[in-house]
Structure 1
Amino acid sequence: MVKNTLPRVFHHVLHNYRKKDPKKGYMKGILVKVLKILWILCSLAVLAITLVYTEPNQSNDVYIVFMYGMLSLSFPIGILVAWLFALLILLEEYSGVPLLSLLESNYVVFSVMWVVFFAAGYAQWFIFLPLLWNKIKMKIKARRMGSSGA
C-alpha cells in the first residue's frame, strides 16, 4: 500500500476543487494567489539581498542587483519608476537641493526605493491588470452577444 505523501493543505485544496464546479475558476483563483505570494517573496528577497550586502554610506555594486531585480519584477511600470528616480538624482545634482541625500544611509535609500518599486509593481500586476483583463473580457462577451443576436 502506497502512503499518501501530500500535505494536508494540498488534500484540502484538491478535494475542494473536485467538489466545486471547475467553470467557476477555483483553480485560477489559487494560481493567482500563489503567483502573488511568489511575486511578494521575490520582491522581499531582492530587498533582503540588497540590505545584507549594502555597506553603510559606501558605494558598491549591490544597487545593480537591486535595480535588475526590481525592474524585472515591476516591468514595464518599473522603467517609469527608474526614470523618476534618475530625474530626482539629476535635479539634485544640477540644483544643489538635496532630495535623495536627505535620506541618511544607503539602507534608507534602498528601502524607500524598494517601497516605490513594490507599490508600482503590485498595483500594475494585481490591481490594474486584472481590471483591464476583466474589461477586455466584458467587451469580447458583449461583442459575441451582439453578433450572435444579429
Structure 2
Amino acid sequence: MWNGKKSITLSKLCILLFLGLLIATVVSAPWLTHWFVNFSQAGLKETESYFLATIYVGFFPAAYLLCSLLCLLRRIDAGRVFVAGNVELLRRISWSCFVGSGIALVSVFYYFPWFFVAVAAAFMGLIVRVVKNIFAQAVELKNDADYTV
C-alpha cells in the first residue's frame, strides 16, 4: 500500500536522479553544447561559449536547490516538519529558483527560449515562497502551542 513514507522515499530518489543528471550535464556540457549548436537551425554558431557559461553558472543554484530539497525531505522523514530549519530551507530553495531565473533571463540576450525557463523558474520560486510563508506561520503556531502547554 502506498503511504507517506514511500512517497518521501520516491521523492528522495527523484532528487538524487536529478542531481545525477545535473552532474552529467555539467560534465558533458562541452559536447552537448557543440551538438546543440550544430544541430540547431537558428544560426547559433557563435553562441557556444554563452551556452557553456549558462550551464556552468546555472549549475550552482540548481545543485544548491537539489541539496536543500534533499535535506528538507530528510527532516520531514525524521518527523521534524514544522521547525524553523525547514522554513530556512524553503527560503533557500525559493532564492535558488530566483537566481536560476535571473541566469536564464540574462541568457535571453543570446537565445530567446531561455525566457520560458526564466518565467518557469520565477513562478516556481514564487510558489515555494508561498509555501515557505505557510510553514513559517505553522512553526509560529506550533511554538506558541508548545509554550502554552
Q: TM-score, normalised by structure 1?
A: 0.33
Larger Rg over CA atoms: 1
More helix by share: 2
